[in-house]
Structure 1
Amino acid sequence: MRSAAVAATAVSFALLVTACGGGEKSDDKGKGGAPSASATTGAPAAEALSAAELDKLIVEKADLKGYQVQKAGAGDVVAADKVTTDKAACAPIAHAMSFISPGSPAASAERKVLAEPKKGASAKPEDALGGVLGVEMTAVTLGSYEGQGAQDAFASVKKAGAECAGGFSVVHLKESTKVSKVVPESVTAGEEAVAFTVTSDLEGEAFTSKLVVFRKGGTLASFSTISFAPGGVASLPQALVDAQAAKLG
């Protein structure tokens, strides 16, 4: 199990570093892609929110039922240059999965969200352990951008989904993993949104995680969900996405 946890650190990137240790935050972000269509609509340039303002807007336990929410610590978020890919275009996806807002945000806020294990009738230790390992864990990140930064960052994630469909390699700190494919999913949130099923290799087994990114004004919200249940995560964290969208207004 320890071996699987170490390997999965690279797969799920920042989220599992909560248990294994991590680096420090950094303002060194990856470069965004081409502007999205909304960036050319002539809308007023966004004025970035502060980290304190984002802390009031990010989801908390009071906004959700059946979840535990914790504020990410300094060691939970690594510098952007510590999460690298063999294909530059794929970096926005790797960053969005790593408590790192893509592009160049002026400020960010992060939360660790765990679905509470469902209570069952069985009292067998192996069943209880399986329930804990099957808990879905989501890294939630809000990033606020100046001007058209949020649109550009969103466009870079969307572009990465298309260009990196066939997979890419990631190094998170010193852990390396292979993402075998990135498949788009349907999602609606904010002003524009994308979602993907990300399949990685976990010690020879396919491991699936989910990634959702949506934009509301000059703010980008990212959700990276993993689970140690067999096969990984089956569906998008819709309740969490909806709660965050509602809080952003």
Structure 2
Amino acid sequence: MRTALVRRTVLTASAVSLALLSTACGADKADTKPDAKPSAGAASSSAAAPAGKAKTDAELAGVIVVQADLPEHVVKAATPAEAAAAAGATSDKAECLPLVKAQSMAAIGTAAGTARTKAVAKPAQPAENASPEEKAKAAMGALGATATAVTLASYEGKGAEEAFTAIKTAGTACAGGYTGSQSGDSLKITKVAPGASVTAGDGALAYTVVGDADGEPLTMELVVVRKGNTLATFSAVSLTGTAEQPKAVVDAQVKKLG
């Protein structure tokens, strides 16, 4: 089953909980309070803006996307367990660790503040008079909705620029693949390629990351945006195996960063 395969990805807990969330509850029950626990350690860009002072956990919690910002998604705060798991994400290749961290809701390097949340696109709802078969089909379709993990990390000095550069360097060095691990699960990545171009903030990166899940391809989308001294990462996955680039989530988050 695809669900079992996705459990082996480096975004395990987030992907599965989001998929279940999309079918089990509505936006009125979504959690709008983002997790703000600190964690350890094809591009487009514009002129760099002054970094300014790093934001704290609390300040980032005030600017990360919430339910009101994404009416066509269900937004759910990351749990402390997910934050702890993210901190332990590893790679078999040191040069690829920034990519694994970006996919795992973890800050790259040492961040002064972090915040995390998750968003899943709302599935199309069946008509009130839909047949049981149609309702079952809609429920299965909901599992294919793209689930996006959003992480904000703020840095002192040039930390955000350095983290951004580390991911960019890893995107080139690790194009041929690596293995990412988290909480005892691992996923072999076979390819990292430029994704659909993204223009946002003071610099943006977009990658399509393909994994090998028990012989079946698992295509994920990764977007990274730097705004001043804050780095925003967006890691998208689908339980059906092919995620869409989370443009609406990226746009809403960049807008909140100002």
TM-score range, shorter chain: 0.7 to 0.9
| C-alpha contact 1:26 1:80 (8 A) present in aligned 2 | no
Please tell me whether residue 245 in structure 1 is matched to residue 254 in structure 2: yes
String of CA shifts for 1:6-57, please: whole Å, max 9, x gaps. Answer: 431232425236489xxxx66431xxxxxx997xx8x755321111110110
Unaligned runs of 5+ in 1: 30-35
Tell me how far apart the structure 2 counterparts of residues 215 and 244 of structure 1 sit (CA, whole Å).
Answer: 11
String of CA shifts for 1:34-82, please: whole Å, max 9, x gaps. Answer: xx997xx8x7553211111101100111112211111111012235562
Are residues 93 and 128 of structure 1, via their aligned partners in 2, closer, same or farther at CA, if it must alter by over 3 Å? same
| C-alpha contact 2:10 2:182 (8 A) present in aligned 1 | no
* Structure 1, 177-186 or 112-121: larger mean CA deviation: 112-121
Tell me how far apart the structure 1 counterparts of residues 87 and 252 of structure 2 sit (CA, whole Å).
Answer: 31
Are residues 45 and 245 of structure 1, via their aligned partners in 2, closer, same or farther at CA, if it must alter by over 3 Å? closer
> 1:77 is paired with a residue of what secondary structure?
helix
Aligned 1:1-249 pairs, distance under 5 A: 1=1, 4-13=2-11, 14-16=13-15, 18=17, 27-29=39-41, 46-79=52-85, 82-121=88-127, 123=131, 124=133, 125-185=135-195, 186-229=197-240, 231-233=241-243, 235-249=244-258
The structure with higher relative contact order (CA 8 Å, sep 6+) is 2
Tell me how far apart the structure 2 counterparts of residues 61 and 208 of structure 1 sit (CA, whole Å).
Answer: 26
Q: Percent identity?
A: 43
Are residues 216 and 81 of structure 1, via their aligned partners in 2, closer, same or farther at CA, if it must alter by over 3 Å? closer
Tell me how far apart the structure 2 counterparts of residues 15 and 79 of structure 1 sit (CA, whole Å).
Answer: 10
> 1:101 is paired with a residue of what secondary structure?
coil
Aligned length: 232
Tell me how far apart the structure 2 counterparts of residues 119 and 44 of structure 1 sit (CA, whole Å).
Answer: 45
Are residues 26 and 53 of structure 1, via their aligned partners in 2, closer, same or farther at CA, if it must alter by over 3 Å? closer
String of CA shifts for 1:86-120, please: whole Å, max 9, x gaps. Answer: 11111111111111121211110000111111124
Tell me how far apart the structure 2 counterparts of residues 115 and 202 of structure 1 sit (CA, whole Å).
Answer: 23
Paired amino acid for 1:246: K
Unaligned runs of 5+ in 2: 21-36
Kindly report the root-mean-square deviation, in angstroms, between the aligned alpha carbons of the 2 structures. Answer: 2.3
Paired amino acid for 1:163: A
Tell me how far apart the structure 2 counterparts of residues 110 and 81 of structure 1 sit (CA, whole Å).
Answer: 12
- TM-superposed CA distance for 1:5, in Å, is 2.9
> 1:78 is paired with a residue of what secondary structure?
helix
